[in-house]
Amino acid sequence: MSKKISIAIDAMGGDNSPDKTIEGVKIFLSHKKKNNDFILNLFGNEEIINSKLKKYKVNSNLIKVINSNKVVSDEEAPLTAVKNSKNTSMWDCIQHQLEGKSDISLSAGNTGVLLVISRMILKMMNEVSKPALAGLWPNKNGMNVVMDLGANIECNEQNLVDFAELGSALYKSLFPEDKPKVSLLNVGSEEIKGTEMLKKASQKLKDLSNDDNFIYNGYIEGNNIMSGDSNVIITDGFTGNIALKTAEGTAKFITKNLKTSLNILSLLFSFFSLKKFKDKLDPRKYNGAIFLGLNGPVVKSHGGIDAIGFYYSIDLCYKIVKGNLISQIKKNLKNINNV
Amino acid sequence: MSKKISIAIDAMGGDNSPDKTIEGVKIFLSHKKKNNDFILNLFGNEEIINSKLKKYKVNSNLIKVINSNKVVSDEEAPLTAVKNSKNTSMWDCIQHQLEGKSDISLSAGNTGVLLVISRMILKMMNEVSKPALAGLWPNKNGMNVVMDLGANIECNEQNLVDFAELGSALYKSLFPEDKPKVSLLNVGSEEIKGTEMLKKASQKLKDLSNDDNFIYNGYIEGNNIMSGDSNVIITDGFTGNIALKTAEGTAKFITKNLKTSLNILSLLFSFFSLKKFKDKLDPRKYNGAIFLGLNGPVVKSHGGIDAIGFYYSIDLCYKIVKGNLISQIKKNLKNINNV
């Protein structure tokens, strides 16, 4: 790639920003010492960002600070966002991307506002019926893409088919060596299970399944999301949001109980192996929901995540652009129209 | 209670039955040495059951063996079950209950068939729009009732309201000292979140909320199911099934990763504390889905569970009858009709 990967970063959004965003940038730079194939555009109050860059000793010609004096507040409602969030660091990121100066935008700020202004500024791709949020989820063999995670609480079969094409394009951009294997989340794996809408979506996916874009693996139940047999899990935004949050809650509940059960002695003896266990399942590694179906990808980092989690979402942006997500998506969407 | 608690047990259903069912009975009897307020009616091939009772050295006048020569097969489809499953051990349990000789039925056999024949024989309560499956789920302070777990993949607001009354009656029968706190599972906790159907159900539950039956706590997100703030979690059968199975899958994934991460030395040193951890979260303790809304409760044990898990579901049946579930339900349903 001769053109540099250009990432627009809202430096002001989320808890403890811009401290955590700048620290995240620092960690990213330290991991990419050998690369100069990217540029990070940091949006926010120039003075504050420069002082934080100084504080964290970040000094690189791969960074550009672009002044935006306003910040989207956490209380801002999506309905009034278009009126109130012009010239904020979040808005300016998306605008920068629209003008072709960035390939992707990243923010840890207000989710609802980010979805609304991204959609308004970047516009939906012609071939897509609804944009949706995709997330990463650990599985036995690596990682899943799961979508929709909550952008659309009610979906029809065509939406789910679009999500399958978008999600498998994302998977391919992140893991170019691997083949996307799509499953529909359902209450059973037999063909007779589920709603009429799911049965129609399943039939369409069967017709679209091919070696080039994705292989359709049929229905999957909640307990097999992490089995690794499929790596692109498709569902409506209501179910996806509840499945994701239930998994998060369960993981937290178990690790908390584990901690209180282990006594000091066993903790000492288990320290290194528990560290390995924690590292593998560290939720920060899966930080970043990807908004797909617009004329450009937008990544939402968790608002409460720390600098390491923010680093992972910068890295996610880098990988997505490097993996040519948008041309993957266009290729996949042609598939729908050709059947 | 002067009348004995009478439980109809399908001794033949599920993997490794009747070995595991008879062993489960043995464990139940050993926990209830001081009680004689119950009778366990074991349905199945008399000869086989008697030989297993001998094998496991179970000898008690609190047991009654009732001969049924047929068994519902795992492959039997719900649609043909009514024709094919007459005079099976499962059918005979429900029939015994209909005749008033048992208060509750328990089977680890074919779920679909159990739901269909229970509904056909026991019939739905007049005041209920749909029967549903309730389950137990650990939380920070004890246990939740979660329903529907999959009996109804599409629901309207009245169904959810009925589930709230049924679920809180179940909670009260199991934990008479505690107050049922109902929440609706949703993608956010704010009032504007969710489908129109959920908003209508939420309004109805607000109107029904009172100190006598249940307190309505509003919406709950997936990550807070186990927080303990609410203890009766209501959702449609599609979402409930996926949430439950996702939680199961996540728990399994984490504990498996924990095991492979710990080395021998740390395993040795952690043995007792890990045992305590495992005991607390042992899924066998939550074994048994309760079919509610019929003129009598029916409990479905997991088919693959072992004898200890089956013991927990016998104990669940005992508690449900002792806690006067059916009169609790009737009291709660009056609440709906009075508003």
What are A253-270's pLDDT values in tens digits? 888 887 777 666 566 656
Higher-pLDDT residue of A2 and B279 is B279
Class of domain B1-125+294-323: alpha beta
CB contact under 8 A, B262 and A281: no
Distance, CA of A44 to CA of A109 (rounded, Å): 12
pLDDT digits (tens, 9 = 90+) for A136-146: 999 998 999 99
DSSP letter, residue B59:
-
List, for residues A194-218, the tens digit of each pLDDT value.
999 999 999 999 999 987 899 999 9
Amino acid sitting at position B173: S
Residue B81 or residue B48, greater confidence:
B48
Residue B47: Cβ-neighbour burial (10 angstroms; 0-12, 13-18, 19+) = exposed
CATH 3.40.718.10 fits B129-292, yes or no: yes
What whole-number percentage of chain A has pLDDT above 70?
95
Calculate how close chain A gets to B187, using CA atoms only, in Å: 6
- Mean pLDDT in residue range A221-232: 96
Please give the interface size between A and B, counted as residue pairs whose CB atoms are below 8 Å apart. 159
Q: What's the ipTM?
A: 0.89
Question: According to CATH, what is the number of the domain A129-290?
Answer: 3.40.718.10
Superfamily of domain A1-128+293-323: Isopropylmalate Dehydrogenase (3.40.718.10)
| Same fold yes or no, B1-125+294-323 and B129-292 | yes
pLDDT-based confidence at B191, cuts 50/70/90?
A: confident
Question: Considering only CB atoms, which chain A residues are within 8 Å of B195?
Answer: 153-154, 238
- Other CB atoms within 10 A of residue B5 CB: 19
| Contacts B235 to A, Cβ<8 Å | 242
Residue of higher predicted confidence among B192 and A135: A135
Rounded Cα distance between B192 and B203, Å, is: 12
Our CA-based measurement puts residue A144 at a distance from the nearest CA of chain B, in whole angstroms, of 14
Nearest CA in chain A to B277: A261
Assign residue A312 a region: left if phi > 0, alpha if psi is -120 to 50, beta otherwise?
alpha
At A68-126, the pLDDT tens digits run 999 999 888 888 888 889 999 999 999 999 999 999 999 999 999 999 999 999 999 99
> In whole angstroms, what is the distance from residue A258 CA to residue A320 CA?
35
- Residue A1 is predicted with a pLDDT of 44
Domain ranges across chain A: 1-128+293-323, 129-290
Query: Which tops the pLDDT comparison, A230 or A338?
Result: A230
- pLDDT given at position A265: 58
**Tell me: the pLDDT tens digits for B208-267?**
998 789 999 999 999 999 999 999 999 999 999 999 999 999 988 888 887 777 666 566
Residue B1 has pLDDT above 60, yes or no: no
Helix/strand/coil (H/E/C) assignment for every residue in A190-206: CCCCCCHHHHHHHHHHH
